[in-house]
Amino acid sequence: MKIRLDSIDAVKNFVNKVNLYSGDIDIVSGRYTIDAKSIMGIFSLDLSKPLTVVIHDKSEEDKFRADMADIIVE
């Protein structure tokens, strides 16, 4: 799914929420894949474009969609 993180506060809130999940979640931007739980990793990406989120534990996908509804752009 695609998300948009367009401010520092959006990134902080996203990382805080993602850290509540036990499974691995990655963000893909171009050829780069980083851990979604890493605030420094996210700030190293081009945040002017939508980012792709990969949830490795599919049982958490519905909860993630509900938690992140405000930033999902699909």
DSSP string for residues in 2-55: EE---SHHHHHHHHHHHTT-SS-EEEEETTEEEETT-HHHHHTS-TTS-EEEEE
42 has pLDDT over 80:
yes
pLDDT confidence bin for 74, thresholds 50/70/90:
confident
The pLDDT assigned to 5 comes to 96
pTM of the model: 0.92
User: Which whole number is the average pLDDT over 48-62?
Assistant: 95
User: Which whole number is the average pLDDT over 20-47?
Assistant: 96
